[in-house]
Structures are given as structure tokens and as C-alpha cells.
Structure 1
Amino acid sequence: MSELAIGVFDSGVGGLTCVKELTRLMPHEDIIYLGDTARVPYGTKSVDTIAKYAKEDISFLERFNVKMILIACGTVSSVLMSRPLFEDSSVSAYSGVIYPTVTAACAATQNGRIGVIGTPATIRSGVYGKAIREIRSDIKVFSKACPMFVPLVENGYTDKNDKVARLIAEEYLEGMKREGVDTLILGCTHYPHLEGVISEVMGGNVKLISSGAEIAKYAERTLITSGQAADREEKGKLTLYCTDSEELFAENVETFLGHKDNITISRCSVK
């Protein structure tokens, strides 16, 4: 089983933050990534629709006999807390981003004031706050839905000097600054692509917690502990699938991963 690939999925390119960290931590692992770009964003959809899409994404990755599935999507991860998305799945090792992320945030905060930004669906669910209080009941949690961040990332408006991104970030984050949070959870895996502008708006003293990076660290610990980490010397293969324009997806891949070496990109259907 150690030679099988890791499966990762997200509604679009956001989950590439997880993939980038996975390839850094475990360069010998094969990774199969699905970005459901035809139906992005998930965060503005109903819970029933999100669950339907997620099950289709899971079924797609199961075709490749993956050893683990990582839900590199904050929205689907929030639905996973209340819906049995894996009840009929052949994959027993899986994780969303919630618990790895809140564990890191609780360890990082010094003043006990944590901010959470995410899609409307994630923020409505309240799962980050509930998970944080399970670990530390003394922490105060401040949440804000940031629906425009995903379209910004999907369309390449990610530079910290971009005027549009800066204007939107300032409006969304004004309340977080006012509440004096010292730790900010980027509760959607798209958001780390905006880390530069978010950091400038919040100030350098605020710790940003990337949900994509934290789930990758969790995967590394889990696979090593269970003896399922790849045992080979050659570099792993990265196979990426998207459900809409392959050309547009490839442009984002090169931008967000920094290269296209040893990467295969294909368009697919998950239905």
C-alpha cells in the first residue's frame, strides 16, 4: 500500500496549497489531484449540493486506488463534520482540514483571540469555532465570510500589490484587526494564495495558519506512523485533473506551484 498515490481534491485551484506542501514534505509520494473547476466555488452552494459534489469527487479519486484522500477544501471539510461522505467509500484513510488547522492555531495564539475567514458555507457551519473550543474553551473566536476571495484567486488577482485584492481584503479584515486577533485561520485553501495581501492588511505580528499546509503536515505524520509512506528514492509523480478548461488550469498550476516539471494535467468528468 505504501506505493499507492495520495488523492487530494478541492473545488478549484485552492487545494494546490496542500499539494505544494505535500511535495515539499514527501517528495517521493505520487499525488493525484482533482480540481472541480467547472463547479467552483462550492462555498456559495447549499449543504446538500456540496455533499453531492464531494461524493462525486471522492468516487473519482477511488478509481485510482489511492491510499488516502485529503479534502483540501474548507467548505467540504465543514460538511464532512455533519455528513457521512465516506460511508460507502473504499478508502478508509481520509481527512478534512478542520482539526489539523485548529490544532495549529490553538498552539500558535498568545492572546487567546483567533480569527477565522472562510467561504459563506464554512462560516455558517460554525465548525471552526466548535473545533477550537473543544481544544481550548478559553479562546475567543471571530469569524468572517470572504466570498470574493475565491474568485480573486481563480482569476489570478493574487499579487499583494493588486489594488482590487487589497481593497477587498481591507473591507473583509477590518473587523479582525479591530478585535485584536493574533492568529488568523485561512479557512479556505484558496486563501493562502492571497497571503501576501492578507499579511500586509493584518500586520506582520498576526500569525496566518494555512489550512492547506496543515492538512499536508497531518498526512505526513499519519502515513509515517502507519508505515504507509512511500519507500522509494525516485521523485513522485504529480497527476492533476480539472473539470473545465485545461489551459486555464495549467496557467494557475504554474503560477501557484512555481513549475510544471514532472506534472501531468488532464481534463476529466466526475459524473
Structure 2
Amino acid sequence: MNSKISINRDNVVKSGDPLRMQVEVEKSRRGRIIAEASGLFRVPQVIEFDPDRGIAVFEKIDNLVPFQEAFIFDRAYRTAAHRLGEALSVIHRDLELPDDMVEPLPAPLAGEGGEVFLHGDFSVYNVCRDGTGGLVIIDWQMTGVHGGKATRGTPCFDMIWFINNLFYRPTLRHFHARDMLQVARSFLEGYYHSSPEAPSPAMLADYAESFFAFKRPQRKANANWRERPLLFLSHRLAWIFIRELRQEKLIS
């Protein structure tokens, strides 16, 4: 059952598989508590939820702009990326779910090392800027691209899923690879400076290499005629990112 979203004047209504929606609502509620305690970001309030029908009513936060579109590649973008890395670190540290909501990442994405509860779809479209310039994190359900169910696994998944979305939205600005890498660097610095238990850069690089290799054939097959000529730029960015991560140039 695919999720459906209706954006209304005063609220946002989302419906989907009842079990998945229960998890998303629980994660959203707990994420909102974390957000208020940290002061780093906002999460829309869950106004109402029908667990039998899988229908949730969320607070509508006006003037939201997805992260990818909210900033040009300047100091403001890098500052926001650093704050976003801090926010993800706090989520990984503080998010907890009941035992009956624990669902591991599927094998190709599982990775090694310690595990945390995940946001699950920490993409450049689910992290947003509001009208005041603050960060808002929405859509706390595991991405449907990878099954839509997982709630727990390596923190590398959320970290690389954000980097993946940052790099693999091919546009002409990808010719400015250094700008893209600076944003990635700011994001990782924010995460690592806030998380003494973060995976080592070497472990993150290993995960990134495995992740991008796993995704590459599917990307090639699914790219449309507009994306295909620019896809090599995204591959190049991923390669540079992994190389510099291994050299610890992306984390100071």
C-alpha cells in the first residue's frame, strides 16, 4: 500500500499501511521531543492518528523549502549542513522505539559496528528550511526505495543516504564538485563533532563504497535522458568523497 499525502490549508494528511504509519507516527512524536530538547530543528506535531486506517494528521509548517533548493552553495548552505549533521547525531543518540517496532536494515545495507534507531529517509527533500531559516525534519518513515520498514541499523545508513541524495541529483552545478564536497564536509563535521561514538571515517568510507557500488547499476538503468549525461558527475563526486574520507580530509 503506497502512502498518500494531502497538503491542506491547515494541516497535512498522510495515509498508508497501518503498521508502517504507526511506526512513522511514533518516530515523529519522539523526534519532536528530541527536537524541542535540542533546539536544533523542528518536527511537525502529530495532531491526530487513526491506527486502524493508517491515517495521520500532521501540523502544517508554512514556507517549507527542501534543503536542496533552500540554499545556494555558499556559507549559509555549509552552516545549515553543519547544523543538520549535529541534528542527526542527536537523533541517533536519543531516539528509542519499543521492541515491537525494531526492524533491522535489509542485508545489502546492514553494515558493521554499532546500531542506532534511524530516521530512515534523511534526504535533501525531507530536511527543510522554514520561513525563519530554521531546520525542519519530516517524513520519519524508512524510504520506500529500500522496503519502507527498517527502523534500526548502522548510523552510516542515514549519513550516506543524505550524501547520496546530495550527490545524485545531477544538475549543472555538479560541475562545481568542490562546492558539493564542502557541503558534505560541513555535514560530517557537524555529526562527528557532536558524536563521540560515531563510526570511524574508515568504516564510513567502507560503507559508502559498498553502498554506491550496490546502487550504481540501478541508477544507470533508471536514469532518464536528461539525467544520463550528468550521471558521471555524480559518480565522480562519490569517488572523490570516498577517497577524501579515507584520507580524513573531509573531517577536521
Fold match (TM-score > 0.5): no
* TM-score category (smaller protein): under 0.3
* TM-score, scaled to structure 1: 0.26
Structure number with higher helix proportion: 2
Compare relative contact order (CA 8 Å, sep 6+) and give the higher one, 1 or 2.
1
* TM-score, scaled to structure 2: 0.27
